[in-house]
Amino acid sequence: MEAALLYLATMLTLAGVYACLALGLNLQWGLTGLMNFGGLGFLAVGAYTAALLTAPESAQQSAAHGGGFGWPWWVAWPLAALAGALLALPVGAAALRLRADYLAIATIGIGEILRLVVRNEDWLTGGPLGVPGIPRPLESLGEPAGQFAFLALVLLVAAGLYAMAEATARSPFGRTLRAIREDEEAAKAVGKNPGAFRLAAFVLGAGCMGLAGAMLAGFFKFMGPDALDPVTATFLVWVMLIAGGSGNNRGAILGAVAVWAIWAASDFLAAQLPGEAATRAAYVRLFLIGLALQLILLHRPQGLLGERPGR
C-alpha cells in the first residue's frame, strides 16, 4: 500500500514539474505564438543552477563539479528561474526581431549547446558524472512524509505559476500578447512594440522552465547529462500543450497530467517486456507520440480545452 502511494507521489511530482514546463511553453507559444524547441536548454540551466547552489559544501573537495554552496532551496529556486530567464534574454533579443520560425531554429541551437556545455565543462557541471547529492527540499521530514511534503511543494509551485499565468493572460499585458500573435500590424498601429512584448513573454516562459529544472534536480537528488533528454524535456512538453489546448492554462495543466499519465503507464507496461522487446517498445512509443501529435493537429487543433475567447 505504502509502496503504491509512494509510486503515485513520484508520478504526481513529475506531473507537477511537467505542468510548470507546459505553463511556461503556453506563455510562449499559446499566448504569444513563439516557438521554443529548446526547452531542454532552459530546463538544464535551471537544474544546474539549483544543483550547484544547493549541493552540500562538504562535497566540494571530493566532487569534480563546481559550486557546492549548500544554499537553501528557497534561495536557489528563484535564482534558477532567473538563470532560465537570463539565458532567454540575449537569444530572444537577437532572434525575435524577425520571423517566428527563426526563433524556433535558434532555440534548437540553445538546447544542443547547453547539452554540450553540460557534457564538456567538467569543472562546472561534473561532466558525465553530473552533480550528485543534491538535497531534496523537506526531506528532513523523513520517509515517506518528506516525499509527500515535496509533492505538496511542487504542486504549490505549479499552482502559483498557474495563478501567475492566468493573471498574465487576463492582464493588459496578456491581451497585448494575444493581439500581437493575431495581428502584429494592428498591434503596432495602436502603439505597441511587438518585439519588446514578445521578448518579455519569451523570458517569462523561460523562467518557468528554469524553475521546473530546479524542482527536477531536487526531486532526482542528482543532475547529469543523462537526466536531460530532448525527447522528454522538449518534445513531450509540446505534445502536452497541444493536446491540452494551447492558449489555455488549464489546458496546459490537463495536457501535462494526461500525457504524462499515458507516457508513464506505457513506460511501466514496456518495462514488463523482456529485455530486447522493452527497448523496442520505447521506440514504438516514440513513434506513437509523434503520430498522436499529428492526429491532434489534424483533427483537434484546439486541443482538449480550446483557448477561451478573451475578455
Partner 1 sequence: MIEFVTFYLIPGLVLGSIYALAAAGVSLVYGVMRFAHFAHGDLMTWGAYAALVAVGVLGVSPWLAIPVAVLATIPVALAADRAFYAPLRRSAPAVLLISSFGVALMIRALVYLIWGPTPESYARGFTPPLFLGEIRIQQRHLFILGGALAAALAVHLLLSHSRAGRAMRAMADDPDLARVTGVPVAGVIRLTWAVSAGLAAIAGVFLAIDTELTPLLGFNVLLAAFAAAILGGIGRPWGAALGGLILGLAEELSSYPWIGTAPLLDPSYKTAVAFAVLILVLIFRPQGLFKGMG
Q: 3-state DSSP helix/strand/coil percent for the chain, to nearest 5?
A: 75, 0, 20
280 near partner 1 (CB under 8 A): yes
Q: Minimum CB separation from partner 1 for residue 91, in Å?
A: 7
290 near partner 1 (CB under 8 A): yes
143 near partner 1 (CB under 8 A): no
Q: Are strands 131-132 and 222-223 parallel, antiparallel or unpaired?
A: antiparallel
196 near partner 1 (CB under 8 A): no
235 near partner 1 (CB under 8 A): yes
269 near partner 1 (CB under 8 A): no
Q: Which stretch binds partner 1 (CB under 8 A): 62-70, 184-192, 261-269, 278-286?
A: 278-286
Decide if 51 contacts 134 (C-beta within 8 A). Answer: yes
**Conformation bin of residue 300: beta by default, left when phi > 0, alpha when psi is -120 to 50:** beta
Q: Which residues pair with 223 in a beta bridge?
A: 131
37 near partner 1 (CB under 8 A): yes
Q: How many residues bind partner 1 (CB under 8 A)?
A: 40
Q: Minimum CB separation from partner 1 for residue 121, in Å?
A: 10
- The residues near 213 (Cβ < 8 Å, ≥ 6 apart) are 42, 43, 44, 45, 46, 47, 48, 49, 50, 80, 84
Q: What angle do CA 214, 216, 219 make, to 5 degrees?
A: 110
Element (H, E) at 141: none
Element (H, E) at 223: strand 222-223
305 near partner 1 (CB under 8 A): no
Decide if 132 contacts 54 (C-beta within 8 A). Answer: no
293 near partner 1 (CB under 8 A): yes
98 near partner 1 (CB under 8 A): yes
289 near partner 1 (CB under 8 A): yes
Q: Which stretch binds partner 1 (CB under 8 A): 1-9, 162-170, 191-199, 288-296?
A: 288-296
- Residues interacting with partner 1, by CB under 8 A? 33, 35, 37, 91, 94-95, 97-102, 104-106, 108-110, 112-113, 116, 119-120, 231, 235, 238, 242, 280, 283-284, 286-287, 289-291, 293-294, 297-298, 301
